[in-house]
Amino acid sequence: MLSAMRVAILALVLVCCGLVTAHADTTGIDLPRRSRQLAGNHYVSSKTFRKTVVFFRKQLSKRGYRHREIPIYGYRGVLVSRFVAEGKSRWNAVHVFRIKGKTYIYVVPSEPDKGVDPPQPSG
């Protein structure tokens, strides 16, 4: 009985780890733990707005992503912070915003390569 329970718990842990890995792989960027996906690249953060912004600030620098941070600003009761990728990456920007006390994350994916070859030098 106890070993069956251990097997079930181990299976649950492995499934959760697989979901976390897939979660990070779909966006190309790590998200705060226990963040929930709403639809597509829209997520609800498990952290407060400030902690989510600090998380991305640290994470992007630690991972070595070249990015530019747009300072936090507010408009009509919505707080927004943006991280814009500079250079080639799987994402163009990360928007963190707070509406009515909830913190949301939107990851803007980069456009897939168009398959166009760069111009070749003549001659």
Q: What is the pLDDT of residues 3-14, one digit of tens each?
A: 555 545 544 444
pTM: 0.68
| SS3 (DSSP) at 111 | coil
Cα separation, 83 vs 106, in Å, equals: 11
Q: What is the pLDDT of residues 91-116, one digit of tens each?
A: 889 999 999 999 999 998 887 654 44
Cα separation, 88 vs 69, in Å, equals: 16
Q: What is the pLDDT of residues 77-97, one digit of tens each?
A: 999 999 998 888 788 899 999
